[in-house]
Amino acid sequence: MTDTPTHAPQGNDAKLGPVARFIRDTELDTRMLGMVGALLLIWFSFHLYGALINGEGVFLTPRNLWNLSVQTSMTGIMATGMVLVIITRNIDLSVGSIVGVTGMVMGLMQVEILPQYLGLGNPATWMITVVAGLIAGTAIGAFHGWLIAYRGIPSFIVTLGGLMVWRGVAFLSAGGRTISPVDETFALLGGGPKGSIGAMGSWLVGLLGCAAILWILRSGRAARKKHGFALRPMWAEYALAAIGCGALLGAVLVVNAYPWPKGILKQMNLPEDTFVSHGFAFPVLILAVVGILMTILMTRTRFGRYVFAIGGNPEAAALSGINTRWVTLKIFALMGMLAALAAVVASARLNSATNALGDLDELYVIASAVVGGTSLAGGVGTIYGAIIGALVMQSLQTGMVLIGFGDGSYRKIVVGVALVLAVYLDNLYRKKTK
Amino acid sequence: MTNTGTPLVELKDISIAFGGIKAVDHVSIDLYPGEVVGLLGHNGAGKSTLIKCLSGAYRADAGEIHINGERAEIANPRDARHYNIETIYQTLALADNLNAASNLFLGREIVGAGGFLDDSAMEAETRKIMARLNPNFRKFNVPVSALSGGQRQSVAIARAVYFNAKILIMDEPTAALGPHETQMVAELIQELKKQGIGIFLIEHDIHAVMDLCDRAVVMKNGQRVGTVNVNEVTDEDILGMIIMGKKPPQAV
């Protein structure tokens, strides 16, 4: 949110209310504030509905929020890549099938191929497996990108074909079998009590994160000073630091408040009344790292700048000497790699690889990116928006189950309506701020 | 004005066709340092197409490009920039979703440590050049879609001027501008001339051509009608060339 340290405050103090002034001085993205507001509204509504109608509010509990964070990871990881695809006026319908086929590649790799050479439970198994999966995903994505950029086939068609082809390949690669169980270390990447970093680890992550937030604010201010641009008032800097660190440490408190269930304690020969915190799950950490790296890529590198430029005006980008085809190919390769990473999380979490892994994911991923403010007209979108979008979509699904509408039909109706509504509200917002 | 020495640019016998239609048909033109050469003709006469061979947007089917007397291969816009050829396109070629600094440095970003973009430095440089070109320009932090036609034009001009252009191509630079801004562009052209920059000016407005250009090349149906020294001919002579393809005796 403080990526572009170049916004000079404009306007007149006297006319603004305290809220407007706060937003102006902190330079927070109002669109993001709106999304966070909507997310909190959804959370409280589900909780209240549960509390009032069902007699028990279960949404805002450490357990549910922890689960929500893990469930969001898979969609979130892919949504960060879909942002780039959609910004450049393309679409990728094949991500769900890439999850399926790379999940299968990794399943076969760790269960049937590697044990022949390394034996069962070799500590290198999971690493080789993940690398193989990522290479497979990147290669598939790059191939799609090549067809789109260098052969001029519309991305909709290429990836629609990919959607069918790779699902078929996933089925054929193991003759329709389900590959299970996966390598024990690999399974940790899917989360669960053991696939989490515990209370101490979570505090460490939280404190490192806070240090990073403070450093970003400081260096942003230093850069502005160096070039003599307008600075944020000091109180706004402190407010931003407090909000950022507060949210992060709040998240640590929540994940640490969710203890291991009794069954696991027994399995680990611990007394039944021991309180062992889950802490952040590995999928959530993977999503966090992906989110940070993708944000840096989009806001701090030439590649990211070119992605936006191509989305804003492909012709201008080409006339500026940007190799638009090569950039497009790389975007799809990156999308393929992220789909493979999502497959790691998904198959590890399921503890198996099935040919149905990732089925229909493309729709949720696209919906997340779009709900998160990525414009289908191209040129506009943010990584954090897509992640919040994924969280919104997942919250709606989880919430419907928790308040007793677990039946797929209701869930689909609510998610579908929310998607259309979100894009409509976004249109209104953009018109108003233009 | 008589030109001696090596021309800055020579386009020799350029031809380019699009599916059987000869958009440019064996046209040769040249440009000397500190000179403004106007390119005139009807819509579809081939002026923009010809000039796009020089800016790297198109590749000629036949013909040669010489820069400072040496044969130059220009296959894409990057090659053209390498020869210090800068273009201000009629469409401006701005990415509407990016701000002025991002557009100015598009494809040539300033990067700091670790290869990361240095947005602050780019904005500071943009502020400097805009202070020179358009002192009223304030909107540095909004996408260029939020700028007026004149402001957008000044971003496009700044982009061409900032990188030490030696050869400048301006495709109807004043088409979208009001009288005040048109005057500003005229002054800028005079200033750039003094610096020894050669300018190709594609223009519909005869008066602008008479005011700004040293020579004028008239094209019709993809062919060159003739080249004239502007101070030796009248408006009517040039109009006759454009409309009827009639070559006056002074022309070469």
Q: What is the pLDDT of residues A357-368, one digit of tens each?
A: 999 899 999 999
B121: chain A residues, CB-CB within 8 Å? 227
pLDDT in tens, A285-334: 999 999 999 999 999 999 999 999 999 999 999 999 999 999 999 999 99
Contact A316 B95 (CB under 8 A): yes
CATH of the domain at B45: 3.40.50.300
Is residue A242 in some structural domain? no
Residue ending a domain, choose from B132, B147, B163: B163
Residue A120 belongs to a domain: yes
Which of B163, B190, B207 is where one domain is finished?
Answer: B163
How near does any CA of chain B get to the CA of A148, in Å? 21
Contact A8 B141 (CB under 8 A): yes
Contacts of A223 in chain B (CB under 8 A): 120
Q: Write the secondary structure of chain B as one string of H (helix), E (strand) and C (coil).
A: CCCCCCCCEEEEEEEEEECCEEEEEEEEEEECCCCEEEEECCCCCCHHHHHHHHHCCCCCCEEEEEECCEEECCCCHHHHHHCCEEEECCCCCCCCCCEHHHHHCCCCCCECHHHCECHHHHHHHHHHHHHHHCCCCCCCCCEHHHCCHHHHHHHHHHHHHHCCCCEEEEECCCCCCCHHHHHHHHHHHHHHHHCCCEEEEECCCHHHHHHHCCEEEEEECCEEEEEEEHHHCCHHHHHHHHHHCCCCCCCC
Residue A62 confidence (pLDDT) above 60: yes
pLDDT tens-digit map of B168-214:
999 888 877 778 888 888 888 998 899 889 999 998 888 888 889 99
* Half-sphere exposure at residue A47, Cβ-oriented, CA atoms within 13 angstroms: 12
pLDDT band with cut points at 50, 70 and 90 for residue A14: low
Residues of A in contact with B146 (CB under 8 A): 434
Q: pLDDT digit string (tens) for A70-112?
A: 999 999 999 999 999 999 999 999 999 999 999 999 999 999 9
For residue A165, what pLDDT is reported? 97
CB contact under 8 A, A312 and B98: yes
Do B121 and A227 count as a contact with CB atoms less than 8 A apart?
yes
| Residue B94 in domain | no
B156 contacts chain A (CB < 8 A):
no
Q: Which domain holds residue B188?
A: 1-84+165-252
Q: Which amino acid is at A257?
A: A
Assigned token pair, A243: 């909000």
A106, A130 in Cβ contact below 8 A? yes
Is A288 domain-assigned?
Answer: yes
Whether residue B142 is found in the same domain as residue B178? no
**Would you call B57 and A300 a contact, using CB atoms and an 8 Å cutoff?**
no
CATH number of domain containing A36: 1.10.3470
Report the SS3 class of residue A119.
coil
Amino acid at A283: P
pTM over 0.80: yes
Partner residue facing A302 (CB), from B92, B109, B123: B109
Residues of B in contact with A319 (CB under 8 A): 55, 57, 77, 87, 89, 93
Can you tell me the distance from the alpha carbon of A275 to that of A258, in angstroms, rounded to the nearest whole number? 9
Whether residue B77 and residue A320 make contact (CB cut-off 8 A), yes or no, is yes
Q: What sign results for the dihedral spanned by CA atoms B96, B98, B102, B105?
A: negative
Distance of CA A328 to the CA centre of its chain: 21
**3-class state of residue A380 by DSSP:** coil
> CB B77 to CB A321 under 8 A?
yes
Which of A300, A306, A327 is the mutation pick for testing B, counting most B CBs within 10 A?
A300
Distance of CA B175 to the CA centre of its chain: 13
Q: Provide φ and ψ at B167, rounded to 5°.
A: -125, 125
Q: What gap in Å lies between CA B222 and CA B50, rounded to an integer?
A: 9
Structure token pair of residue A325: 């085809």
What is the number of structural domains in chain B? 2
Set of chain A residues whose Cβ sits within 8 Å of the Cβ of B87 = 319
Statement to judge: residues B177 and B247 lie in one domain: yes
In-domain check, residue A238: no
Place of tokens 């497009």: A328
End position of a domain, from candidates B163, B191, B213? B163
Name the residue among A296, A300, A313 with its Cβ closest to that of B95: A313
Q: Do both B106 and B156 map to the same domain? A: yes
Residues A231-260, mean pLDDT to the nearest whole number = 94
Q: Same domain, yes or no, for B228 and B186? A: yes
Residue A378 Cα, gap to closest chain B Cα (Å): 9
Q: Is residue A41 part of a domain?
A: yes
B204 belongs to a structural domain = yes
Tokens representing residue A395 in the block: 């919250």
Q: Where are the alpha helices (DSSP H) in A257-382?
A: 262-267, 282-300, 302-312, 314-319, 324-350, 361-371
Tokens 């990116």 identify what position? A369
Q: How far apart are CA A392 and CA A400, in angstroms?
A: 12
DSSP symbols for A173-240: HTTTPPB-SPPHHHHHTT-SSTTB-HHHHHHHHHHHHHHHHHHHHHHHHHHHHHHTPPPPPHHHHHHH
Look up the ipTM and state it: 0.88
In whole angstroms, how far apart are CA A152 and each of A157, A163, A204, A321, B42? 11, 18, 48, 19, 33
> Is B92 part of a structural domain of the chain?
no
What is the predicted pLDDT for the residue at A255?
A: 94
Pick the closest to residue A105 from A52, A170, A175, A57 (CA basis).
Answer: A170
Number of domains in chain A: 1
Considering the domain boundaries, does residue B91 fall inside one? Answer: no
- Out of A8, A302, A319, closest to residue B93 by CB: A319
Contacts of B110 in chain A (CB under 8 A): none
Using the Cβ of B77 and the Cβ atoms of chain A, whether some distance falls under 8 Å is answered with: yes
